[in-house]
């Protein structure tokens, strides 16, 4: 299980900090309980499971559209921007996608190796 890099930990920490500051002024600070839990895990540098990486990728796929990007750029303290950072920000998106590709590549290699071993045993 991979550990998040420093850029992802920093983004998650930033999201938690901004959420806490926004919570003082409004009832809707941004992010969900799941997002906050994810930010705590990421900012703490805890290992991230494949299942969590898939959830991260799904979050980013769902929330990365033109409207959300514009809202995040326009107001870095908006609920959308805070939620994005809670999940690790853009660095988290890149990292989760790369880790999932690596896991898939490793699985494919292992599967290919099994096929090769089976072929050599039959001879």
User: Each residue of 18-63: pLDDT tens digit?
Assistant: 999 988 888 888 889 999 999 999 999 999 999 999 999 999 999 9
Q: Is residue 59 part of a domain?
A: yes
Q: Is the pLDDT of residue 72 over 90?
A: no
Q: Is residue 61 part of a domain?
A: yes
Among the listed residues 121, 72, 117, the one whose alpha carbon sits nearest the alpha carbon of residue 93:
72
Count of domains observed in the chain: 1
Length of the chain: 123
User: Rounded to an integer, what distance in angstroms lies between the CA atom of residue 9 and that of residue 27?
Assistant: 26
Q: Is residue 111 part of a domain?
A: no
Structural domain including 19 reads 6-96
Q: What is the pLDDT of residue 1?
A: 82
Q: Is residue 117 part of a domain?
A: no
Question: 31 and 81 in contact (C-beta within 8 Å)?
Answer: no
Q: What is the pLDDT of residue 11?
A: 96
Q: Is residue 55 part of a domain?
A: yes
- Model pTM? 0.84
The runs of H, that is alpha helices, within 24-88 are: 33-43, 50-63, 66-74, 79-86
Q: Is residue 21 part of a domain?
A: yes
Q: Is residue 60 part of a domain?
A: yes
């Amino acid at each position: 299980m991979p550990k998040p890099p420093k850029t992802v930990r920093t983004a998650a920490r930033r999201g938690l900090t901004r959420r806490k500051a926004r919570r003082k002024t409004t009832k809707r600070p941004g992010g969900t309980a799941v997002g906050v839990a994810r930010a705590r895990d990421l900012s703490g540098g805890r290992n991230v499971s494949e299942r969590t990486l898939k959830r991260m990728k799904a979050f980013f796929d769902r929330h990365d559209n033109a409207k959300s990007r514009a809202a995040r750029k326009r107001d870095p303290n908006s609920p959308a921007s805070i939620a994005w950072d809670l999940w690790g920000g853009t660095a988290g998106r890149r990292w989760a996608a790369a880790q999932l590709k690596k896991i898939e590549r490793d699985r494919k290699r292992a599967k290919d190796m099994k096929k090769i071993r089976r072929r050599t045993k039959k001879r």
